[in-house]
Structure 1
Amino acid sequence: MSSSPELRLRVSEASDLTPTVRRFVLRDAKGSALPAYEPGAHIVVTTPAGHKRSYSLVEPGGAQPQEYVVCVRRDNDGRGGSVSMHDDVVVGVDLLVSVPVNRFPLKPSPRYLFIAGGIGITPVRAMVRRLRVAGRTGVQLLYLTQSAEETPFLQEFDGPEDTVHHSDDRGLLDLWPYLAVPDDDVRVYCCGPAPLMRAVQRLTPHWRMSRIHMEEFTAGPAGMSLPFTAVWAATGRRVKVPAHLSLLAALRRDGIRVESSCEAGICGTCRLAVLGGEVEHRDSVLTEGERLSSVMACVSRARSAELVVGPHGNGGSV
């Protein structure tokens, strides 16, 4: 499990923003201020059904926030986390919530280009609001959704620097005019589904890497996967991990039980100890220090031909 501390927070508001997106406001039951956070941060929520899911905080935050606000898009074809949030969470319910973690921080820049796809607007909204409340100009937003009906916060983004594009009406937006000319005075922030992330990556190889910032709904782009062998330290069992299977799936296939929840590299449940070999980390939960001795089995892989792993706490057993 992740070593991050957890808070017990009460749902004080729950409302539908679109037919599939619901907004939840979480507060301390006694009215105490919550741990600080900055735009781009997320929390991991344990749903009533027991899933652990990462949700970006949609408000700008600060030193002593009174509430955490998240928006959850219902996915009936998913693994149950969003359905539990929609069906089981009502006002008055208490939820276990991690303290905020920020792996998508807003960095200083003369100007910004934000590209948000669908529910990817959630961290972007926090960043844009922080900058505009401070009176900043040069804050451009491209907000890409399927339809007006499925566009959370639609009425907020009608300014001269905002482009809200609905693919049902006009097809896919051509991003090249916005990215053709690299500019070291601009930071590009992109959050959304994998096809949008890949499109932005393909269109920005001529930009400085330090100016492009990405956050996907999973831990990040998977890249090329190569086969390797995992060695389960407790028994010496050797497990072949082919390119198309995760370390988690391969271990389970061979009868080694490893707990999991999100299976997207964001909750920390499937954390294993690394006792040998080199890891290609693809998660968004481990700190740099933790990456020296741990691996998230659901998404990360081996850079070496073999990777020796074992339980982390109660993270696995034979």
Structure 2
Amino acid sequence: MSENPLQLIVHRMTWEAEGVLSAELTHPDGKPLPAWTPGAHIDVHIGGHIRQYSLCGDPYDRGTYRIGVLDEPSSRGGSRFVHTQLRPGQSVTVSVPRNHFVLEDAASYVFVAGGIGITPLLAMAREATRRGAEWRMVYGGRSRASMAFTAELSLLGDDVTLVPQDERGHIDLDAALTRLPGGALVYSCGPEPLLAAVEERCPADRLRLERFAAPTVERTGENGEFEVECRTSGLTLRVDAHTSILDAAESAGIAVDSSCRDGICGSCETRVLDGTPDHRDFLLSDAEQSAGATMMICVSRCASGRLVLDL
């Protein structure tokens, strides 16, 4: 599913809050960048890793991609590289933007952000304002100083409630999510405990989530073995009960873009040419999973005994 990557230049880096750096990326020749819509992210190749960062700038600015990166010392290396080694003037490889967190048309919106989860929601709030739609946001963080982009949010409207935990405790989700306006959609991004709490309080058909990590899911039964024909590579793989399709493909020498290996980032999304996937990702919508046109091969398996994939 991957397209040709882009080689961009780090134009500017800015402290947006304690522990949060933004990086603005531009084309070295000043060319316009591929278009994107609010909720989109890019894969960034940094420090030997591929990491996903939501675009938090302005989609109408075709000359710049902006990402916001939280410094996480316990991370697998991406954020630490951005904070300690990435600097203006350096070249960086990124993917064309992908969007599995689309801002759908709605009469109104409620945005619930936790920490660095503000990044996709900032672009959404800006777009909702452009559309003339009613919206409100509740945004929680550890402290006021750690909450990024608050000045930009204040320019978009006054229906933004900041909830610094050290001052006000946790977000009052009951107040935020009860008596939703008719036709309103709820968009939320942040740490898993916040998203789980939002899910408990919001009808599934009104809720759109983007996760940083895969939730724990109890699965019954055992995984079965199945066959995967990799049509492009001309190879047929036998995937055993303890191996993912991604691992089997890599062991066979097939190059596949991947990052999270938890079914949340979309890097390994692969076109299904035949067969029925057993979807186990946390990214595709119910409708997309039912259609079976693509699958995340890091976690999803086979429900039909055999798959034919565009690998």
Decide: shared fold, TM above 0.5.
Answer: yes
Map of 2:151 onto structure 1 = 155
Work out whether residues 227 and 307 of structure 2, in 8 Å CA contact, stay in contact via their aligned partners in 1: yes
Q: TM-score, normalised by structure 1?
A: 0.79
Residue 136 of structure 1 aligns with an amino acid whose one-letter code is: G
Structure 2 gap segments, 5+ residues each: 229-234
CA distance in 1, matches of 2:236, 2:31: 48
C-alpha distance in 2, partners of 1:28/1:250? 34
Aligned to 1:36: 35
CA contact (8 A) 1:194 1:221 kept: yes
Amino acid at match of 1:13: R
Q: Deviations over 1:105-160 (max 9, x none)?
A: 2222222111111111001101112233x373632110011111211012334453
Q: Which shows bigger deviation, 66-75 or 165-174?
A: 165-174
Cα deviation digits, residues 249-293 of structure 1 (max 9, x gap): 9869xx88887533243253596989765321416489959x847
Structure 1 Cα separation of the partners of residues 32 and 171 of structure 2: 41
Structure 1: segments with no counterpart, 5+ residues: 314-318
Match of 2:299 in 1: 299
Shift of 1:184: 2.5
CA 18–39 in structure 1, closer or farther in 2 if over 3 Å, else same: same
Within 5 Å, give how 1:154-173 maps onto structure 2: 154-158=150-154, 159-173=157-171
Paired position in structure 2 for 1:316: none
- 8 Å Cα contact 2:18/2:146 also seen in 1: yes
Q: Call closer, same or farther: CA 1:129–1:229 in 2, change over 3 Å.
A: same
Q: Percent identity?
A: 30
Question: For the Cα contact (< 8 Å) 2:20–2:70, is it kept in 1?
Answer: yes
Which letter does structure 2 place at the counterpart of 1:169? E
* Equivalent AA in structure 2 for residue 177 of structure 1: A
Within a 5 Å distance, the mapping from 1:101-250 to structure 2 comes to 101-132=98-129, 134=130, 136=132, 138-158=134-154, 159-205=157-203, 209-218=204-213, 223-226=217-220, 227-231=222-226, 239-241=240-242, 247=244
Conserved 8 A contact 1:261-1:270:
no
> Retained in 2: the 8 A contact 1:157–1:164?
no
Is contact 2:269–2:297 with CA below 8 Å preserved after alignment? yes
Matched residue count: 296
Mark the CA change 1:69 to 1:285 in structure 2 (over 3 Å): closer, same or farther: farther
Query: How much does 1:188 deviate?
Result: 1.1
How far does residue 4 in structure 1 lie from its aligned partner after superposition? 2.5
Q: Deviations over 1:44-67 (max 9, x none)?
A: 1111x22111111102303x6110
Distance in 2 of aligned mates of 1:292 and 1:173: 37
> Distance in 2 between the 1:163 and 1:312 partners?
46
Distance 1:257 1:145, change over 3 A: farther
How many angstroms apart in 2 are the aligned matches of 1:184 and 1:41? 26
- What is the aligned-residue RMSD (CA, Å)? 3.4
Pick closer, same or farther for the CA change 1:180–1:294 going to 2, 3 Å.
closer
- Per the alignment, residue 86 of structure 1 pairs with 83
**Contact 1:273–1:312 (8 Å) recurs in 2:** yes
